[in-house]
Each structure stands twice: as C-alpha cells, then as structure tokens.
A and B are shown apart, each in its own frame.
Chain A
C-alpha cells in the first residue's frame, strides 16, 4: 500500500495526545477505598474492573479513529503489480498507411508493447461472432469494449489512427485500462487534431507534435491564450499561399496546418490562396507560402517568404529576393503544423527546428518515472484510492458511532 500524501501519515502521532491526557489526568484523581457505597446515591456507579476494560476499549476505538483519519488524509492506494502477460497494447487502425505505422513503431520504443492492427490482427479478441468486413468498419468503442471484457486485460491501450473528431466526440472511454490516442494526421485532419487537443477527457497525442504532448499532459493547452498586445499583433497576420497544380496536396496541408495553429493559439489568420498563374501584381501580406516551380516575384521587405518545396534551389531565391526567406522541405506532412508553428512564431532556423523536432522526447506516458519502472495507470490507482477512501469513511462512521455508544454507556 502506498500513500498519495505520505507525509500526512505522521498524523498518526496524534495518538499520543489521548495517551498523554490519560496519563496527565490519572495523577489528578485520587482513589480511596471506602467501606461501602450502599448509603451513597446510586449515580454513575461502576465496577472498577469494568471501567478499566471499557476505558481500554474506548481508548482503542479512539486511537483507531485517529489512525483512519490519518489514512484518509494520507490517501492510500494499492499499486497493481505488472504482469508480463499483460503488456501495453498499441492498436492501429487499418486505414493507416504502412509508412506511418513504420514511423510510429520506429518512434515509439515498442520493446514492451504489442502492436496490433485494430481489425485484422487481434488474435486475443474473440471476433467469431463478427465478420471480417464488419471489423474493418468496427467502431473503436466496440472493440475497446471487447478488450475490456477479456479476463486478461492489457495494462494500457494506445490507439493510433486517423480519427475523426466526431467519432470520439461525446463518448466516454471508461474502461479498466487507460487509453492513449495517437493521432496520425493526414493532410486533411489537422483541424481535427486541434479539436482533439482541446478535449479534456481524451488523452490525445500527435506523433508529429511531440512538443505538445508534454503540454497536453500538463493541461497547458486548455488554458486560454494570453490576450496581450503580442497576441493582438498576431491576429493581424495575413498569409498567402501560391501554388502550382502539382503542389495542390501540400497547399491543402498548409491551410489545414494554419487552421490548427489558429485553434491552438486561439487567433485568426487571414489566408488567401492563389494559383501561380493568377498571382496579383500587388500582394500585401505578412507571409507568402510559395509552392511553385516558378520563381517568386520581388516582394516587399515586410513580407516573409516561406519556401516549402525543393523544386527551387534556395540560393537562387536568396539572390533575387530582398525579403526574409524561410526555407524548409518537410519530411512528411504530419510534421507540417509543428513546422509552421516554429517558422511563424519562433523564427528559428529551419535546421535547428527540424533537429529539435526529431530529438524531442516521445509521449511521457510511454516512459515512466515512477519507482517501479513502469507507467502507473492512473485509473488503477485512482480506483483503489477511491475504494480505500470509501472504506475508510465507512470504518470512520462505524467507529464514531461505537465510540459515542460506549462513551454514553460507560462514562
């Protein structure tokens, strides 16, 4: 048994108080042998041995009350031992591409994990009643429920996939194991990611947004953005995305990432998109995302140029442009929101940003800093804590009633 507030268990020392009171009062009272109490009024007459016995019971009960109060304050809980046959499960949705899964499994240290496809490769789950076709469309909630009904439950489950916000919205995933959500964004789901991050009840993380993982854990993302002057200035930012037909996919990803950043920073951008052939002559904007094989026009100094394609050599652009240029070629689109965030708001060099992104720690729940070396599932100890708390309260009530009864009867 462990204690959430072990220091409060020192309150048990309060047991010494009644002992001192007893010892202190004992000296004051003087017992005199008397012939007979026969002619004295019959009021509170007790047999001395009975008194001693009753007082011992009372002392014992009062001591127990103090111990239980100390327990309640110290908040005890029972740590469940980790069983080797109950590893952490990683459930991967079937519609995730193999590249993403490889990236996921490479990034997560999966030594102690069992990666399972959410539909096809779940041998421990009894799917006999369901057809394979149904499983492909299986609701995540249903599958998790099936896992929960197993006798041999996993310690924790991490679900990875392209989730729709509306799939998870309004559902309570309250099972006997903690669930982590690894959000694997595609170019269209960045706003969903932003939505999910605002959900308090869901432990959602994005593989490409490692920085945010810590913040999600600390609930920092739930705090409203500062409404100071800097934020107001940010609100006035406007962007333009110029693209060729070949970069249409990247253009959509940039728009989605910008939208996610809007939600994340609770600000709004004014974003316009132009095809390279329809580019206006005078372009007034704070930042220009250039996704075209054509060389960008000469831009004013106030406009920052963001180059996210490798079709143009950087040196050429730099020579011909007077504006500040940020250049990056994202390794995958999933990292795009995070990349843009650093480019727009933190003005770091791209190499440094990318190096930082790659070296960032993974989800803190995957590594545990607890004593016993594994991640303590919060639900587990919260449950035992709650149970022990109820049990302590029940015992406290029982002892208080007994104490009052004995005190009234014998004292």
Chain B
C-alpha cells in the first residue's frame, strides 16, 4: 500500500503522458463509459463524429525486470529504525508496481515472473537477510541463468570480501543483462557519526570494533575511497551506479529507473 501510494504520488500528471507517448502503440477505439479517465478521450475523433471514444494502445515493448536484493546480514544495518533491507524492499515494491503498470514482467531472484502484483509484493515482503552473500551465490547465479535479457535491479551495500559481487555482476553483464546497482548507504554509516565510546558489532562476522577518533577519521576516508573504487569498477562493467541513502525518499530510485529504462529502450 505504501508503495502504491508513493507511486501514485510520484506518477501523478507528468508520467502518464510520458508513458503513453513512449511505451504504447495504438490498438483500437472503444466507447467512453463513465469512470474512464477523461484524459484518455480522443478529442479529434470527437470533433469528427461527435462521439466520445477512448484510444486504446498496446504495449510496444516489454521489459523483464529482475529484482535482486543483497540478502547478506549486513543489510540489517539500520538508521532511524529503517534497515537497508526494509529500504530495499520498499524500492522493489515501488519498482514492481511501476513495472506492472507498464506491463513489464517482474521477477524476484530466481523466481518465475509474477503474474499479479500481489504475488510480487508478497514475495518481496518475505525477504530475509542472514549470513554471508556467498551463502546465496547459487541463487544469484540461477537468477541470471535464463536466456532472456533482463533489466537487473540490484540493491546492495556492496560489502564484499573476495570480489564475489563484482564477479557475479560481471557474469550478468556478459550475458547481456542491463544492470542498475543501487548502493544503499546510511548517512551515519558514511560519516561515521557515532559517539566515541561506541562499539560497532559486525552483523556478518560478529567482530567488534571500539571507536576512537582515529578510527572514525580513517573510516570516513576509507568509505569514500571504497565508494570511488566501486563506481569505477561498475562503470567499467557499464553498470549504472546509483547511491541511495536509506534516509532519502525513494522517488530518486524511481526517477533513476525511468531514466535508465528510457535509455535502454532507445
């Protein structure tokens, strides 16, 4: 419901025309019936025939949107009671709604494409994050194994130990998939704005680190360096990198998706 409301707010006015002009081809006219959107009435036909007709279109091109979340335990990191996983689910819910409206097929990880939006939302809501990324490697490999070219939407915090994510993304690109990588970060995480006496507990390894001034400074610098490296590596693979703060509105993700989809179509 939250995703639908967000999407409704997001798409009101501007995007409807865009959707019609870009993605749909004329199919037939049908008589106007009460309750139909007034904006869909073909006024030229009305001028000629003095009857109200609705212009119906068929989808010109379908895209298979594959939603792939990072299910490692690090996604459980939360700021202001919003975890990265929850934010990821939120993005996926909005995107799947949008995709369904555009008659795109939506699939989650290795699942078959969903027939109904409700199925997609249910599957998304049941996502859980535990253990390491490597524990789900088979799932990830399976999700890019079909021959269709997909639009992969990958949400992760990009904490990897042995370049496992990069290898997988590289394989996905090689198979002809288009990839948008949403890098989920937290403001506090990026700026290391924790009190001095804090002890950080690694959600994956359960290691702890007591923070002091030097660690905070080096942590801030390291984050920026690692992020820069990540951008470079992804750009080499021609993967669209989007940094998403889990504190910011989700509409940025939708805009990025639509922009990318437009490019992808052309």
Contact = CB atoms under 8 A, between A and B. Distances in A.
Contacts of A51: 208
A30 B198 contact: yes
Interface stretch (A39-47, A59-67, A229-237, A395-403): A39-47
Given A34-B203, A45-B208, A46-B207, A40 B218 contact: yes
A35 B226 contact: no
B211 to A, nearest CB: 9
Contacts, number: 93
B199 A30 contact: yes
B182 to A, nearest CB: 15
Interface string A28-39: 111111111111
Contact of B189 (A35, A41, A43, A45): A35
Nearest to B224: A39
A36 B207 CA distance: 9
Given A39-B219, A40-B222, A49 B206 contact: yes
B215 A29 contact: no
B195 interface: yes
B159 A32 contact: no
A41 B200 CA distance: 13
A303 to B, nearest CB: 95
A133 B197 CA distance: 89
Contacts of A30: 195, 197-199
Contacts of B66: none
A31 B199 contact: yes
A44 B215 CA distance: 10
Contacts of A35: 74-75, 77, 84, 157, 159, 186, 189, 202-203
B201 A33 contact: yes
Interface in B137-173: 157, 159-161
Interface string A240-281: 000000000000000000000000000000000000000000
Nearest to A44: B210
Given A36-B157, A38-B159, A39-B223, A47 B206 contact: yes
Contact of A36 (B204, B215, B218): B204
A372 interface: no
A36 B203 contact: yes
Interface in B190-235: 194-195, 197-210, 214-215, 218-219, 222-223, 226
A54 to B, nearest CB: 12
Instruction: Bin the interface of chain B by size.
Output: 35 or more
Contact of A34 (B161, B189, B226): B189
Given A35-B74, A40-B215, A47 B203 contact: no
Contacts of A40: 200, 209, 215, 218-219, 222
A272 B257 CA distance: 133
Contacts of A32: 194, 198-201
B245 interface: no
A48 interface: yes
A40 B209 CA distance: 9
Interface string B71-88: 000111110000010000
A38 B78 CA distance: 17
Contact of A29 (B75, B160, B199, B202): B199
A323 to B, nearest CB: 96
Given A28-B197, A45-B209, A33 B218 contact: no
A46 B208 contact: yes
A31 B202 contact: no
A295 to B, nearest CB: 106
- Residue among B208, B214, B223 with the most chain A CB within 10 A? B208
A32 to B, nearest CB: 6
Nearest to A43: B215
A31 B209 contact: no
A33 B200 CA distance: 6
A30 B194 CA distance: 10
A48 B207 contact: yes
Interface in A300-323: none
A29 B208 CA distance: 12
Contacts of B160: 38
B145 to A, nearest CB: 28
Nearest to B227: A39
Contact of A39 (B77, B186, B222): B222
B207 A44 contact: no
B201 A31 contact: yes
Given A35-B189, A36-B74, A41 B222 contact: yes
Contact of B203 (A28, A33, A46, A49): A33
Given A29-B199, A44-B210, A37 B77 contact: no
Nearest to B200: A34
A44 B186 CA distance: 24
22 contacts: A30-B197, A31-B200, A31-B201, A32-B194, A32-B200, A33-B76, A34-B77, A34-B189, A35-B74, A35-B159, A35-B186, A37-B205, A37-B207, A37-B209, A38-B161, A39-B159, A39-B219, A39-B226, A40-B200, A40-B218, A41-B219, A47-B208
Given A30-B198, A38-B159, 16 more contacts: A29-B198, A30-B197, A30-B199, A32-B200, A34-B200, A35-B77, A35-B84, A35-B202, A36-B74, A36-B159, A36-B203, A37-B205, A40-B222, A43-B209, A43-B214, A48-B208
Interface of B: 74-78, 84, 157, 159-161, 186, 189, 194-195, 197-210, 214-215, 218-219, 222-223, 226
Interface pairs A-B: 6 shortest CB-CB: A35-B77, A36-B159, A34-B200, A35-B74, A41-B218, A37-B202
